[in-house]
Structure 1
């Protein structure tokens, strides 16, 4: 498809001044030399989508982070994908009027787009991968986060990683990635999801509500646990994560702000830090503490991993989240976001087919 066949306007889910969102006609994004334009086929919904509407509302911006579709335009500096390729990617929705996944066309950084191998997974499945997987890659393998051995390399010997919230989207990808790198994985989840998390590579799973869960984690890991990825990051999960650590150095990576209770509980050898996946986009971005600077090293790390992702998917070493198809069309997204907000989703990723 040539650029002349791309329309000038599109439909997109736009944030409103009253902390809601609705579908409106807006201009199709223009792209830079290092970007691609994707015609959207499917989008996945994430809790951050409704949080940007409710708590960080910038009226007139496009909602959404995860997208899968077909490339219709490629910047001159992009070499990893071509027009006509089926791809998926992650963008920072909710901050700009021309950037967000819940739209008929989405622009994305070329090196942060990955090509979906022919005959591997569906576009609906691919839509689940980017945000959840990218966050796991950053949390587990970035040298300034947990710094674990990164696939396709594998760790030597028996080393344990604790992933809190194993049946969440982030949890399933965290388990998958740590298992792929050769780590032993212990996690917590609701009993109804025990078999699900085991199918993604968990070696041991316990009920997060079990009063003796910390003792059980220490028992199965032989009290050798030094790495934790907390994919829920509530006050209680941060405290449990710290308590599960073995004596000596330890690192806990969270996906929300570290609580004061967690800071007080940790001993001097324990490092607990909040990772923000938006830094992997390599551009400055707004956050609750103000405008954060660009992190080129974070983008370079993610771009490097994504070079291996298509083969991992083709070889079925990376598995998409179980898909829960929602109603079709952008207009159905607000109801899907409310479903997430109400806490009704478990062990599945909400996906909406746009085209």
Structure 2
């Protein structure tokens, strides 16, 4: 793990015209600096500090690459982890989980990636600060980046990553939904793919979720219903889009007054106003005629509990109902309903799964198959991240993604 210099220092005598010191021993010394600026966290509940002369991260494995960050997508966890002191493995710390930029050092191992490629990278491996977003350069791996096609702006690409990964794993692994075949390719069956991975290669704390969560006979089929609570979130957008492409019938539960004008136009889904939960439960039960077996919650334990009341196991066929909670599930178990959490570690710990997700995303972006989040741009680069996070704290960003250009 590289050491972080916490003091603001003057550039060294190796300055270039761009004001960055270069690695004298780097084969890419004309592209890769030695030092960079970082938005550094020194303690929980404190402001980020723009810190100069921090080391640029360098690959330590053959499958790693270096990305010059052009845009940072902000997630709710970016401010919540600071304010509530979680997911901060050490201090000082570099936060940030979504970025997009240009490859300036390609993997040493054979790869589909090359220098100059525009890529997006979801950083689910938050313990490795080399992969964090709040800096000018970051490490990723060949199986954790997706190339950005010309039809997608870099700033919008930065808004996709972690929300898409969570959505795809929730549907593809936890619920066993096959990802629709794109560009003439076969479907991607993550449920089957994870069963081809040696158990020893799967983190122990997610083995049960990956291998025992849902039986083959219970998996969603074209025409089945799925309900999504918190339908205005970015994760809900990708869940609904992936489900729609796979032929599921989608119900979005969201505040109709606040988000109805935008969500009612979302292709292939039904919007139910969640303002009155009891009424929303009855509406969903009426729409699905008691045949809702799949649901995903993106809000919290309380709303996940509302989804439980909407679900109905298929008793005659012995098929249980399944609920995935992105931020938690009810404490009390309910007969006939299986609770799931997203096995997010699969993305960075199991290369075959991460690569499958990124290749599918590349095809979806190239073909325009996925609707993408609405983006709001934040000013100020790394020094503007504090103000951008404050907007999120105040609840001013809802139903869209805040992106900082670097």
- TM-score normalized by structure 1? 0.88
Work out whether 1:17 is the aligned partner of 2:48: no
Equivalent residue for 1:310, pick from 362, 365, 369: 362
Q: Does 1:84 align with 2:138?
A: no
Instruction: Tell me the residue number matched to 1:257.
Output: 328
SS at match of 2:93: coil
Query: Which residue matches 2:309?
Result: 243
Cα distance per residue 1:263-301 (max 9 Å; x no partner): 24x22x21112214244211xxxxxxxxxxxxx3xx422
- State the secondary structure of the residue aligned to 2:104: strand
1:175 to 240, 243, 246: 240
Task: State how 1:187-336 maps to structure 2 within 5 Å.
Answer: 187-191=252-256, 192-210=258-276, 211-232=278-299, 234-248=300-314, 249-260=320-331, 263-264=332-333, 266-267=334-335, 269-282=336-349, 296=350, 299-336=351-388
Cα distance in 2 for residues equivalent to 1:316 and 1:19: 40
**Corresponding residue SS for 1:71:** strand
Structure 1 Cα separation of the partners of residues 227 and 405 of structure 2 = 34
CA separation of 1:307 and 1:157: change in aligned 2, threshold 3 A: closer
1:135-162 CA deviation, whole Å, 9 max, x = no partner? 10000111xx011122224975421111
**Is 1:149–2:178 an aligned residue pair?**
yes
**Stretch of structure 1 that moved more, 340-349 or 15-24:** 15-24
Give the structure 1 partner of residue 225 of structure 2: 160
Structure 1, unpaired ranges of 5+: 283-295
Cα deviation for residue 88 of structure 1 reads: 0.2
Task: Encode CA deviations 1:160-199: one digit per residue, 9 max, x unaligned.
Answer: 1111111111111111111111111001111132242344
Task: Report the equivalent of 2:81.
Answer: 52
Judged with a 3 Å threshold, the aligned counterparts in structure 2 of structure 1 residues 339 and 78 are, in CA distance, closer, same or farther, namely farther
| Structure-to-structure mapping, 1:108-127, within 5 angstroms | 108-118=140-150, 120-127=151-158
Which stretch of the first structure deviates more once superposed, 333-342 or 154-163?
154-163
User: What secondary structure is seen at the aligned counterpart in 2 of 1:252?
Assistant: strand
Contact 1:327/1:352 (<8 A) preserved: yes
Q: Does the CA-based 8 Å contact 1:254-1:272 persist in structure 2?
A: yes
CA contact (8 A) 2:301 2:328 kept: no
| Distance of aligned partners of 1:335 and 1:76 in 2 relative to their CA distance in 1, 3 Å threshold | same
* Pairing 1:25-36 to 2, within 5 Å after superposition: 25=52, 26-31=54-59, 32-36=61-65
Q: Structure 2 stretches of 5 or more lacking a match?
A: 1-25, 182-186, 189-219, 315-319
Q: Figure out how many residues of one structure are paired with residues of the other and give that number.
A: 331
Residue in 1 that maps onto 2:251: 186
SS, match of residue 324 in structure 2: strand
